[in-house]
Structure 1
Amino acid sequence: MDLRQLRYFVAIVESGSIKRAAMSLYVAQPSLSQHVRNLEEELGVTLLTRSARGVSPTEAGLELLGYARSILSQLEQAREALRAGSVDPHGSVRLGLPNSVSLVLGVPLVEMAHHELPNVSLRVVESMSGYILDWLRAGQLDLAMLYGVQRSPGISARQLLTEDLYLVSLPGAGRDDGTVDMQELERFELILPARPHGLRELVEKAARDNGVRLWIRTEIDALTQIKALVRRGLGQAVLSHSAVYEELSRGELVARRIVNPAIDRTVYVAEPSDRPISHAARAVAELLTHCARGLVEDGRWRGELCDSQGYAAKR
């Protein structure tokens, strides 16, 4: 087994087809197939299931895929670290962001990285925190920002900030005094993501703990669609202030902070603890922390910043 075989195997699985992988790698298809057969013979297992639709990894193939991605990632990180020495960070960094975080942080971070880390290629991936955590564990991401992750095998996470949740509605839909009591949520037709979305579970737990019966009229996961439905007057949503910052600025929506009690959640910066991260990834982690703090301080991201020990600072 060698590194070339591992690269080829990863490319085949990610492409779902030996033919497509051969085209992307500029390698003859028979040669690529032979590499797979050699791997299977050496390991004594079947790695791929072949069908008319392409190929998919077997259970053994999935196990090898995890090892291969980790080995190739560590090799690239070692190469970058040794090349870097005392020079500026360079290389590629894959960063995972929850959708609501990406809305407020994505563009400012990319812009800042463009100016301050000119030799770093930043790839931002948006999804739900659960998926992002899985990808970080699997070596498909170098860094991530996550909600509600404190202790997870193979992951080191530090608190960045806590943010309150708001009831979001059309202007004029009820009194607009800036807050809404938890008990009042019973009166609203809510638009929430489906389980097991982290936001849904957080809101439902807060409601259960306080004896509140929620009226969930619509379940839809996409943040853009949730906001579109609220703008059409089809219900209210529970979201962070940052998730609707642009709509609030344009007067399209209003947001009232949920109180008595408040519902809040913590944003973490996470990285793998079972493998080293590159000089470039470390630089991006520092930059995103700096960028997030700036957004909080100028009011674009409403939240309480945590200190280096993870404690929330006073408002």
Structure 2
Amino acid sequence: MATPAPTVKQLRYFVHVVDAGSISRAADQLHVAQTALGIQIRMLEQGLATVLLRRHHNGVTVTKAGRYIYDRACQILQSVDALAEEVASLAAGARREVSLGLTPTLMHGIGPRAVREADRRVPGMHLHLAEGLRDQLIRGMEAGEFDYIFTHDVGSGGALRAMPILRQPLVLVSRPGTLPDRRPISFAAALATDLVVRRDSSHALDIVSRTALGFGLVPNIVYEIDSLPGLNQMIIQYGSTSIMPSDYVVDAVARGELEIHDIVDPPLEMTLEFIMHSAQPPTEAEFPLLAFLDDLLDDFFREIGAESRRLGHLTGIVMPSLAQAKTA
């Protein structure tokens, strides 16, 4: 004879009893008879063939098995509640509006497909995309203009929480033939080349400047420009160089217009992060959105050869077990 599966009512009652610390207090909170509540708990224990609670005169304590069931029940109830909210929203024709800020590279890499496929992949949600540089995105996040952003090296603290997504090494970018060969170049030697930098994208420059200061070195900056396409043209036309993540120039490298040189002694890197509000992290109702973004990122990182530098999946924020299954 098959073992009866736990019901949602039994799991909800069990969670209330554990939280209240006694069956009588939970019965009062749920506005049900203590006897009826006790029967549901016993049916749950019988169905699972294990003792979940130890009864005593002061209330109840949770067994080891009970603690496991409590944790799983909380996850299941969260999913059930999220499903009810989604169905209600769909029935009412309402859609959750989600505003997402992207770096220029990510907007180029995943933005068009996100716009094209979001309504099909994430029904009940409407995705708004905005492009910005690191400081612009952080300011917008702090001002409440975005629900989430992707940017570099923010870290968790205060009102924002960060999840590392991708490790991005900084490389020296040059015109083919400008440097003697494609071998790695030391940090000191890279600084001695004719560097062009982006004033409007200060984070990579900050990393270079801080590291140079630590070694007592001075970067040889000969040009400043506020545009990545303009910077690339400076490298191609005038033989300048620049230090940036290789992902920024993957298309130009593929076309043979630019080449990259790994920097060593020391290597430099920055970390792409998914930033959320500490007080409003993603809920399980947003799992389809996170899974959709994960798929877009997986394809983009595979395209630019960055799969090995992937640090985490967004689905792990709300459902680690499913995220682990995704990466297994």
For this structure pair, what is the TM-score category when the shorter chain's length is used for normalisation? Answer: 0.5 to 0.7
**Matching residue within 184, 203, 206 for 1:201:** 206
Check conservation: 2:174, 2:239, Cα contact below 8 A. Answer: no
Cα offsets for 1:84-125 (capped at 9, x unmatched): 248779433211112233333333444453542255332221
**Matching residue within 225, 228, 236 for 2:241:** 236
How far apart are residue 223 of structure 1 and its match? Answer: 1.9
Separation in structure 1 between the aligned mates of residue 308 and residue 222 of structure 2, nearest angstrom? 28
1:253 aligned residue: 258
**Matching residue within 127, 146, 155 for 1:150:** 155
Q: Which shows bigger deviation, 191-200 or 167-176?
A: 191-200
Structure 1 length normalisation: TM-score?
0.64
**Matching residue within 76, 86, 91 for 1:84:** 86
Separation in structure 2 between the aligned mates of residue 134 and residue 82 of structure 1, nearest angstrom? 34
Cα offsets for 1:11-42 (capped at 9, x unmatched): xxxxxxxxxxxxxxxxxxxxxxxxxxxxxxxx
1:93 aligned residue: 98
Aligned residue type for 1:99: P
- Aligned 1:161-180 pairs, distance under 5 A: 161-180=166-185
How far apart are residue 162 of structure 1 and its match? Answer: 0.7
Separation in structure 2 between the aligned mates of residue 200 and residue 258 of structure 1, nearest angstrom? 14
How far apart are residue 277 of structure 1 and its match? Answer: 5.2
Check conservation: 1:95, 1:142, Cα contact below 8 A. Answer: yes
Instruction: Give the 3-state SS of the residue equivalent to 1:232 in structure 2.
Output: helix
How far apart are residue 258 of structure 1 and its match? Answer: 1.2
**Matching residue within 214, 228, 232 for 1:223:** 228
Separation in structure 2 between the aligned mates of residue 214 and residue 97 of structure 1, nearest angstrom? 29
Name the CA shift for 1:235/1:93 in 2 (closer, same or farther; >3 Å). same
- How many residue pairs are counted as aligned between the two chains? 231
**1:141 equivalent in alignment to 2:146:** yes
- Aligned 1:1-315 pairs, distance under 5 A: 84-85=86-87, 90-113=95-118, 115-117=120-122, 119-194=124-199, 197-233=202-238, 235-275=240-280, 283-301=288-306, 304-307=309-312
How far apart are residue 257 of structure 1 and its match? Answer: 1.5
Separation in structure 2 between the aligned mates of residue 253 and residue 167 of structure 1, nearest angstrom? 10
How far apart are residue 280 of structure 1 and its match? Answer: 7.2
The CA RMSD over aligned residues, in Å, is 3.1
Instruction: Give the 3-state SS of the residue equivalent to 1:168 in structure 2.
Output: strand
Identical-pair percentage? 19
Name the CA shift for 1:246/1:298 in 2 (closer, same or farther; >3 Å). closer
Q: Which shows bigger deviation, 237-246 or 222-231?
A: 222-231
2:67 aligned residue: none
Q: Which has the higher contact order (CA 8 A, sep 6+)?
A: 1
Instruction: Give the 3-state SS of the residue equivalent to 1:244 in structure 2.
Output: helix
Instruction: Give the 3-state SS of the residue equivalent to 1:105 in structure 2.
Output: helix
Name the CA shift for 1:141/1:278 in 2 (closer, same or farther; >3 Å). farther
Instruction: Give the 3-state SS of the residue equivalent to 2:238 in structure 1.
Output: coil
Separation in structure 2 between the aligned mates of residue 278 and residue 81 of structure 1, nearest angstrom? 11
Aligned residue type for 1:156: R
Name the CA shift for 1:237/1:109 in 2 (closer, same or farther; >3 Å). farther
Q: Which shows bigger deviation, 282-291 or 206-215?
A: 282-291
Structure 2 length normalisation: TM-score?
0.61
Instruction: Give the 3-state SS of the residue equivalent to 2:138 in structure 1.
Output: helix
2:50 aligned residue: none
Separation in structure 2 between the aligned mates of residue 240 and residue 281 of structure 1, nearest angstrom? 30
Q: Which shows bigger deviation, 254-263 or 204-213?
A: 204-213
How far apart are residue 281 of structure 1 and its match? Answer: 5.5
How far apart are residue 177 of structure 1 and its match? Answer: 2.0
Separation in structure 2 between the aligned mates of residue 130 and residue 296 of structure 1, nearest angstrom? 23
More helix by share: 2
Name structure 2 gaps, 5 residues minimum: 1-81, 318-328
Name structure 1 gaps, 5 residues minimum: 1-79, 311-315
Aligned residue type for 1:216: I
Separation in structure 2 between the aligned mates of residue 81 and residue 145 of structure 1, nearest angstrom? 27
